[in-house]
């Protein structure tokens, strides 16, 4: 039976339209999903939206809409965006979904019945217009960090989750399972910044927030943030509604999240699951941020004026594959990395148009010219061809290994090393020179065949990352995207190959930058 693999993104706040930053995690999870499927795994990919809370209610009110009207528009846009970027999720969960409301309420009640939740009071700094509590340290110059207005001392009755009881269990979890939280530096952060100084109990309900899931046994309260948000990972695969599915998929193989919410996934979430006697996720991966001019594209900041960062504009103009490529390739996985439009356009030209696109079109046009587009059978073994085969095989294995570590950026570097090598192989073998000498026909055919095989193998790996362009090329070659064979000579001898359309037109970068600046202003 195929191995199961359950992967999740965070559920995003739909208080505004989703951003390129949100696309980062979603595209990574999509590439990992596709790659694992090619390896023969049975994969479930969950993404969705985190829809409750004061901020959403306020936004809806400002827009003169009901919460659901406001949310439905943003969710429709998010789903369109995922379609535009070829995201192949299995479920888009909304925390307003009926089955999720039941799960969040059930979990809250369970934790209460087991003695992990108790009622007490919450004291804090309260901003009346924003209806938000803040801690002393969150205030900016003693004022509300959201609106800058003065805050008052206020006490509210709330329920608490006994997080403080879990310190030792969490330390043991990290010790016994070095795989649980990655990269390793995040473990040190959790231990030194949160667990060692002592965990406080967690506020899990509010009476002042009306747009939320009611606490079932005390309906003056709504469930506050994390019990509602984190349990989406259970609902998404049928907890309480489809036992068979839940048993099949849980525990999650990996939660991929941004580093700012590692604390919730590596401390609160395992503590809640331990309290519920449910198995823990196998891995939490906290990736770094995509930075824009050194800044995180945060949900509250508008950096569109600095860079053109709207994927809804970039994908139709440069292709979904190009947007996916920059997100998957540019930032070392686990670290922060800078995004700039110029890097994006430069990568399209250098990697996609020159390295890959040109290799494919050059090879197919030589095949047409020198062998009537027929896949040659010739196999002349020599040092150069052996060297090509060795590197292709090695880099294909490297790509697989990097993907076991979820590292799309390094996997893509390995795949592009295959194309680099194939381009160098053309330079070294000089097929145009061989074509001038009748006696070298077998050698020429063999060069063409080897190029086609390198393209086939590299493109199969590439298809998890850039599905559109890979499908085009694999269709021409007449092969399926299966990672079963990284050896040469799997193409069908004698097959006639169609010509290749231009895969990535070369861009005039200064002109594009100018155009994008204009489009940005119109936005």
Per CB under 6 A, the segment of 7-15, 118-126, 158-166, 452-460 that binds ligand MSP is 7-15
| Encoded tokens for 21 | 């930053």
Residues 22-41 binding ligand MSP (CB under 6 A) are: 22, 24-25
Residue 272 binding ligand MSP, by CB under 6 A: no
CA 475/CA 479 separation, integer angstroms: 6
Count other Cβ atoms within 10 Å, centred on residue 199. Answer: 18
Residue 229 binding ligand MSP, by CB under 6 A: yes
Across 302-405, the runs of DSSP E, i.e. the strands, are: 337-339
Whether residue 328 contacts residue 408, with contact meaning beta carbons closer than 8 Å, is answered with yes
Residue 93 vs 415, nearer CB to ligand MSP:
93
Contact residue for ligand MSP among 7, 11, 60, 85 (CB under 6 A): 11
Residue 130 vs 394, nearer CB to ligand MSP:
130
Contact residue for ligand MSP among 6, 12, 112, 134 (CB under 6 A): 12
Q: Is 125 left (phi over 0), alpha (psi -120 to 50) or beta?
A: beta
**Which residue's CB atom is positioned nearest to ligand MSP?**
21
What string marks each residue from 276 to 315 as x (binds ligand MSP by CB under 6 A) or -? -------------xx-----xx-x----------------
CA 326/CA 312 separation, integer angstroms: 15
Buried b (16+ CB within 10 A) or exposed e, 371-390: bebbbbebeeeeebbeebbe
Per CB under 6 A, the segment of 14-22, 38-46, 275-283, 407-415 that binds ligand MSP is 14-22
Closest contact distance (angstroms) between CB of 230 and ligand MSP is 5
Residue 67 vs 420, nearer CB to ligand MSP:
67
Whether residue 411 contacts residue 458, with contact meaning beta carbons closer than 8 Å, is answered with no
Closest contact distance (angstroms) between CB of 462 and ligand MSP is 23
Closest contact distance (angstroms) between CB of 64 and ligand MSP is 23
Strands laid side by side in the 295-296 sheet: 295-296, 290-292, 337-339
Residue 54 binding ligand MSP, by CB under 6 A: no
User: Would you tell me the crossing angle of helices 467-477 and 320-329 to the nearest 10 degrees?
Assistant: 110
3 state DSSP class of 126: strand
Per CB under 6 A, the segment of 12-20, 144-152, 354-362, 410-418 that binds ligand MSP is 12-20
CA 271/CA 266 separation, integer angstroms: 9
Q: What's 140's DSSP letter?
A: B
| Encoded tokens for 499 | 């010509």
Residue 273 vs 473, nearer CB to ligand MSP:
273
| Encoded tokens for 84 | 């535009």
Residue 11 vs 396, nearer CB to ligand MSP:
11
Closest contact distance (angstroms) between CB of 206 and ligand MSP is 16
Residue 81 binding ligand MSP, by CB under 6 A: no
User: Would you tell me the crossing angle of helices 20-38 and 408-429 to the nearest 10 degrees?
Assistant: 70
Residue 29 vs 195, nearer CB to ligand MSP:
29
Residue 230 binding ligand MSP, by CB under 6 A: yes
Residue 50 vs 420, nearer CB to ligand MSP:
50
User: Would you tell me the crossing angle of helices 408-429 and 383-404 to the nearest 10 degrees?
Assistant: 170
Residues 126-185 binding ligand MSP (CB under 6 A) are: none
Across 224-302, the runs of DSSP E, i.e. the strands, are: 254-258, 284-287, 290-292, 295-296
Number of residues that bind ligand MSP (CB under 6 A): 22
Residue 10 binding ligand MSP, by CB under 6 A: yes
Residue 6 binding ligand MSP, by CB under 6 A: no
Instruction: Tell me the DSSP string of 435-497.
Output: TT-GGGHHHHHHHHHHHHHHHHHHHHHHTTT-HHHHHHHHHHHT----TT--SS--SPTTPBP
Contact residue for ligand MSP among 58, 258, 376, 458 (CB under 6 A): 258
3 state DSSP class of 462: helix
Q: Is the peptide bond before 254 cis (omega within 30 degrees of 0)?
A: no
Residue 91 binding ligand MSP, by CB under 6 A: no
3 state DSSP class of 293: coil
3 state DSSP class of 262: helix
Residue 257 binding ligand MSP, by CB under 6 A: yes
Whether residue 117 contacts residue 204, with contact meaning beta carbons closer than 8 Å, is answered with yes
Residue 261 binding ligand MSP, by CB under 6 A: yes
Residue 41 vs 338, nearer CB to ligand MSP:
338
Closest contact distance (angstroms) between CB of 288 and ligand MSP is 7
CA 345/CA 309 separation, integer angstroms: 12
Residue 50 binding ligand MSP, by CB under 6 A: yes
Residue 299 vs 368, nearer CB to ligand MSP:
299
How far is residue 458 CA from its own chain's centroid?
Answer: 22
Per CB under 6 A, the segment of 228-236, 244-252, 349-357, 358-366 that binds ligand MSP is 228-236
Closest contact distance (angstroms) between CB of 254 and ligand MSP is 13
Residues in the site for ligand MSP, rule: CB under 6 A?
10-13, 19, 21-22, 24-25, 50, 229-230, 232, 257-258, 260-261, 289-290, 296-297, 299
């Amino acid at each position: 039976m195929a191995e199961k693999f359950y992967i999740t993104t965070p559920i995003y706040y739909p208080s505004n339209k989703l951003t390129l930053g949100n696309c980062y995690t979603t595209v990574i999870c999509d590439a990992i999903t596709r790659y694992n499927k090619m390896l023969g795994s049975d994969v479930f990919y969950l993404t969705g939206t985190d829809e409750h809370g004061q901020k959403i209610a306020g936004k809806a009110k400002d827009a003169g809409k009901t919460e659901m009207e406001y949310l439905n528009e943003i969710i429709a846009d998010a789903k369109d965006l995922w379609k535009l970027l070829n995201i192949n999720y299995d479920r888009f969960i909304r925390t307003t979904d009926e089955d999720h409301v039941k799960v969040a309420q059930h979990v809250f009640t369970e934790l209460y019945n087991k003695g992990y939740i108790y009622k007490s009071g919450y004291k804090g700094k309260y901003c009346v217009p924003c209806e938000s509590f803040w801690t002393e340290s969150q205030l900016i110059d003693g004022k509300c960090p959201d609106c800058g207005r003065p805050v008052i001392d206020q006490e509210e009755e709330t329920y608490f989750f006994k997080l403080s009881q879990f310190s030792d269990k969490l330390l043991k979890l990290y010790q016994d399972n070095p795989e649980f939280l990655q990269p390793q530096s995040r473990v040190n952060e959790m231990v030194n910044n949160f667990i060692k100084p002592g965990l406080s109990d967690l506020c899990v309900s509010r009476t002042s927030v009306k747009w939320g899931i009611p606490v079932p046994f005390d309906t003056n309260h709504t469930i506050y943030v994390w019990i509602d948000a984190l349990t989406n990972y259970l609902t998404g695969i049928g907890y309480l509604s489809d036992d068979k599915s839940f048993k099949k998929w849980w525990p999650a193989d990996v939660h991929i999240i941004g580093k700012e919410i590692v604390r919730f996934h590596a401390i609160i979430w395992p503590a809640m699951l331990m309290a519920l006697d449910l198995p823990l996720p196998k891995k939490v991966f906290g990736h770094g941020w995509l930075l824009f001019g050194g800044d995180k594209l945060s949900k509250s900041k508008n950096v569109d004026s600095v860079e053109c960062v709207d994927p809804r504009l970039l994908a139709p103009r440069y292709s979904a594959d190009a947007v996916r490529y920059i997100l998957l390739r540019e930032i070392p996985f686990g670290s922060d990395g800078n995004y700039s439009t110029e890097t994006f356009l430069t990568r399209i030209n250098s990697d996609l148009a020159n390295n890959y696109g040109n290799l494919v079109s050059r090879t197919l046009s030589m095949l047409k010219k020198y062998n009537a587009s027929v896949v040659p059978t010739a196999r002349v073994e020599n040092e150069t061809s052996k060297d090509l085969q060795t590197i292709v095989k090695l880099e294909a294995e490297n790509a697989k290994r990097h993907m076991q570590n979820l590292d799309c950026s390094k996997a893509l570097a390995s795949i592009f090393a295959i194309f680099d090598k194939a381009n160098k192989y053309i330079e070294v073998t000089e097929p145009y020179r061989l074509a001038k000498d009748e006696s070298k026909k077998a050698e020429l055919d063999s060069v063409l065949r080897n190029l086609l095989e390198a393209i086939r193998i590299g493109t199969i790996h590439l298809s998890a990352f850039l599905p559109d362009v890979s499908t085009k090329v694999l269709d021409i070659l007449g092969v399926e995207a299966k990672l079963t064979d990284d050896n040469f000579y799997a193409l069908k001898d004698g097959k006639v190959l169609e010509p290749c359309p231009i895969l990535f037109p070369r861009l005039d970068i200064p002109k594009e930058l100018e155009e994008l600046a204009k489009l940005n202003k119109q936005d």
